[in-house]
Amino acid sequence: MARLALLSTSDKTGIVDLARALVDRFDFQIISSGGTARTLAAAGIAVTKVSDYTGSPEILGGRVKTLHPRIHGGILARRDLVADQRDLEANDIRPIDLVVVNLYPFEQTIAGEGVTLAEAIEQIDIGGPTLLRAAAKNHAHLTVLCRPDQYGSYLKALEKGAVDPDFRLACAREAFWHTASYDQAIATYLSQSSPDPSATLPARWPLSGTQQQPLRYGENPHQQAAWYRTGSVPAGWAAAEQLQGKELSYNNLVDLEAARRIIAEFPSDRPTAAVLKHTNPCGVAAADTLADAYQRAFNADSVSAFGGIVALNRAIDAATATALTGTFLECIVAPGCDPEAREILAKKSNLRVLVLPDAKVGPAQTVQAIAGGFLLQDANTYPDASDRWQIVTEIQPSPEDLAEMLFAWRVVKHVKSNAIVITQDQQTLGVGAGQMNRVGSAKIALTQAGEKSQGATLASDGFFPFDDSVRTAAAAGIRLIVQPGGSRRDQDSIAAANELGVVMAFTGVRHFLH
């Protein structure tokens, strides 16, 4: 008797070729449902509809098709168990040797604009996951395939005769991961669809991902690493286009994500560039042209920029490409790249150039692993705006001053705490990052800025616990300060700023970055 295969796929890629090979070369009989059956029939392939095989029609508008003992009995029966074989014979059930299923496009559906909850729910597959889990559970006796890229390997395995048990186990593992990721996407969506705006993070947060690619090593050569993407629809860096250069490393990807976050702060109405090293910005600047913006960002700390990561908020043009090739860089990311710029950058064959069309699209939550679990928090995407600030000093800032302070505030948000940033004319002059006290960070930033700190702006990611930071800044020539406020000694800092003729704004929001 011919072997039996059940084919029921949402993604029809390769399904006709697989079915034809099964029928013509390996003497399979095919049963199928819905659109898959129609696709195979249209291709001239003999196929039995599930409803004809089970004797039960599809009901509830297609919600119930394959949930039937003749289907699941044939999948779950243990071929080496006499009692199971008796049950099959008693109920006129044939064993099924191959199950090929992929699921309704839930993630693709919810990725569309304006999708309603009701529309999303209709894309929750019921029969598909049940088939996959049943077949994967009984992988000792049959094969389950859930991705089109598995079809070729399965046909090659059939050519050798019996399908290798290790192959069936690997396919079962993939099926369980497939259903786990699918359920996670649904649970996450339903958690985020709460009508209660004050709803907290969900009580459960399963993590799963599909390996995008193995990495040579992690932060250091003795650490293994791989890159995983979440969801079945490539997004973020997984959807970015790498135009040229070596394979991305673990550290490249960590730095690129930091670069994405900072460049996303700056709208494209003015060209802006950021140069990063070890996730910290060493230079950020805006200008009338992208080439000038990059050059100003590079000049802010040309020593640290060597071997750095560059993020741009506009497509790379020829002039900017020429400037970018003037030093050694690891990676460049921009929303686009002009053809002439590509030719110029191609001369640096090892330079990694990526196109990420929309840097503002990032994770809604961030995860940090700890022993025995992980920490989950909302991503720091707070919409900073100077009109929400409190000007606490006697001297008031001009609109130009506020624009400069906002520029500095957007940068300091992305510097490791304790963080101090000095800027002027929308260019960073000094960055103090990751020190154990804020005065230390201020001294580093002010020393780096040097004489350029005269009339400049200082931004601090956290409040000043004492007035010493204000006095240190004023002594170096700082004219504008922006900080969160909220210290019990705020009044001391305000008094010092008034005494020294410094303008100071409290944002009411801090931006710690650990």
User: Is it true that 233-355 and 386-506 share their CATH fold?
Assistant: yes
E-strand stretches of 24-105 = 28-32, 48-49, 98-102
Burial readout 182-197 (b: 16 or more C-beta within 10 A, e: otherwise): bebbbebbeeeeeeee
Tell me, rounded to whole angstroms, the distance of Cα 257 from its chain centroid: 9
Q: Which two tokens stand for residue 268?
A: 């494209």
Please state whether the peptide bond connecting residue 437 to the residue before it is cis, i.e. omega within 30 degrees of 0: no
Distant-in-sequence, close-in-space partners of 62: CB < 8 Å, separation ≥ 6: 34
Q: In this predicted structure, what is the pLDDT of residue 161?
A: 82
Tell me which residue has tokens 């020593």: 303
Distance of CA 367 to the CA centre of its chain: 12
CATH class of 233-355: alpha beta
Q: How far is CA 242 from CA 182, 322, 353, 422, in A?
A: 28, 19, 6, 33
Q: What is the pLDDT of residue 62?
A: 65
Kindly report the pTM of this predicted structure.
0.79
**Is the dihedral angle over the CA atoms 273, 275, 280, 282 positive or is it negative?**
negative
In the structure encoding, which two tokens stand for residue 408, read together? 């500095």
End-to-end CA distance of the chain: 65
Rounded to an integer, what distance in angstroms lies between the CA atom of residue 189 and that of residue 176? 20
- For residue 39, the surrounding DSSP H or E stretch is helix 34-42
Q: Which of 12, 137, 246, 348 is catalytic?
A: 137
CATH 3.40.1000.10 at 3-192, yes or no? no
pLDDT at 114 (0 to 100): 82
Annotated catalytic residue, options 12, 246, 278, 348: 278
Give me the residues paired with residue 283 across strands. Answer: 275
- Please name the fold of domain 386-506: Cytidine Deaminase; domain 2 (3.40.140)
Tokens in use for 434?
A: 């990751």
Distance of alpha carbon 227 from alpha carbon 456, whole angstroms: 41
Q: How many CA atoms lie within 13 A of 498 on its CB side?
A: 10
Report d(CA 50, CA 32) in Å as an integer: 5
pLDDT in tens, 42-101: 999 988 888 888 777 777 766 666 678 888 888 888 888 888 788 888 888 889 899 999
Active site residue 414: no
H helical segments located in 365-489: 399-412, 438-449, 468-475
Report the pLDDT value the prediction gives residue 194, as an integer from 0 to 100.
57
Rounded to 5 degrees, what angle do the CA atoms 324, 308, 213 make? 105
pLDDT for position 498:
97
Dig out the tokens for 208 from the structure.
Answer: 């799963």
Backbone angles phi, psi at 354, to 5 degrees: -120, 145
Alpha-carbon span 36 to 280, nearest angstrom: 51
Instruction: Name the residue among 439, 478, 443 with its Cα closest to residue 462.
Output: 439
Closest CA relative to residue 315, chosen from 336, 298, 292: 336
Kindly give the confidence (pLDDT) of every residue in the chain, 514 residues in length, as a single tens digit, with 9 standing for 90 and above: 688 999 988 888 999 999 999 999 988 999 988 788 899 999 999 888 888 887 777 777 666 666 788 888 888 888 888 887 888 888 888 898 999 998 877 777 777 778 888 888 877 878 888 899 999 999 999 999 999 999 999 999 888 888 889 999 999 999 998 888 888 888 877 776 655 555 567 777 767 778 899 999 999 999 999 999 886 678 899 999 999 999 999 999 999 999 999 999 999 999 999 999 999 999 999 999 999 999 999 999 999 999 999 999 999 999 999 999 999 999 999 999 999 999 999 999 999 999 999 999 998 889 999 999 989 898 999 989 999 999 999 999 999 999 999 999 999 999 999 999 999 999 999 999 999 988 899 999 999 999 999 999 999 999 999 999 999 999 999 999 999 999 999 999 999 999 999 999 999 999 999 9
Question: Is 278 a residue of the active site?
Answer: yes
Residues 6+ apart with CB under 8 A from 83: none
Q: What residues form DSSP beta bridges with 428?
A: 423
* Residue 320: other Cβ atoms inside 10 A: 29
At 65 the pLDDT is 65
| Residue in 509, 505, 465, 506 with CA at minimum distance from that of residue 487 | 465
Cα gap 294→131, rounded to integer Å? 55
Signed CA dihedral, 61, 64, 70, 71: sign only: positive
Residue 298: which of 448, 309, 425, 289 has the closest Cα? 309
The pLDDT assigned to 184 comes to 80
Quote the strand ranges of 287-426, DSSP E: 308-312, 329-334, 352-355, 365-370, 373-378, 390-391, 420-423
pLDDT of residue 196: 52
326: exposed, middle or buried (C-beta count within 10 Å: 0-12, 13-18, 19+)? exposed
Question: Looking at this protein, which amino acid is placed at residue 343?
Answer: E
| Domain boundary assignment for the chain | 3-192, 233-355, 386-506
Q: How many residues does the chain have?
A: 514
